[in-house]
Amino acid sequence: MLIQFLAAVGVLAVLTVVPGPDMAVVTKRAVSSGWQDGLRTVGGITAGLLVWGVLAVAGLAAVLAASATAYTVVKLVGAAYLVFLGFQALLQSRRGRSQAPAATLTPSRGNPWRTGLVSNVFNPKIAVFYTGLLPALAPTGLSAHSGMALLVLVHAMLTAVWLGGYVMLLSRARSFFEQPAVRRGMDRVTGTVLIGFGLKVATTQP
């Protein structure tokens, strides 16, 4: 059982560090509004994982993954939200907000915790991941529900630690990211990446 659990943790760790929409959302928040907002966004993302975990354990995520209509609705809402965040970042760079001094920077609009939560809850791939992969990774010494619940908690914790550490690394390089040209470039890059992820989510299949 222990070996199975450690192997599952290894798989989850690899999947956690692969760059995706979550990292792009966190980057946008941390660079534009500071590490505090970055960590709040991480908290929202982690809460989103726990929401999907509860749904997966309850069996509701499997229903979503099996329903083409439900999957498409959630997919399109999530894709639209990512594209919205991307355009917001691009507009921010064009308005010149990136050139403002650090002490007078205006935080990005919207609650950062809610931004992280919404971007994650409307990512149907998490439902597919939790219902398709977690049951296979769950230790055999536990019941199916207990094993999945344990792995959901592990995944949420790994995500919080990884993205939280990433935010703090960004904050250590604060003087670099506060340079007007760098901030403008980061807004454009993260905006483009978010739009790209949104289009990718919109066109992917279960």
Q: Let me know: does 89 contact 28? Beta carbons within 8 Å.
A: yes
Which run of H or of E encompasses 34? Answer: none
* pLDDT (tens digit per residue) in 103-126: 444 455 679 999 999 988 888 888
pLDDT number for residue 167: 94
| Angstrom distances, CA of residue 201 to CA of 37, 53, 130, 167 | 25, 20, 17, 24
The amino acid at residue 134 is L
Banded model confidence at residue 206, pLDDT cuts 50, 70, 90: low
Tell me the one-letter amino acid at 112: P
Share of the chain above pLDDT 70, in %: 90
Which pLDDT belongs to residue 101?
45
Interval 125-137 mean pLDDT:
81
Residue 193 in tokens: 């990446």
Mean of pLDDT values over 35-56: 94
3-class secondary-structure state, position 141: coil
Query: How far apart are alpha carbons 119 and 112 in whole angstroms?
Result: 11
Beta carbons of 137 and 151 less than 8 angstroms apart: yes
pLDDT for res 115: 92
Inter-residue contact 113 to 40 (CB < 8 Å)? yes
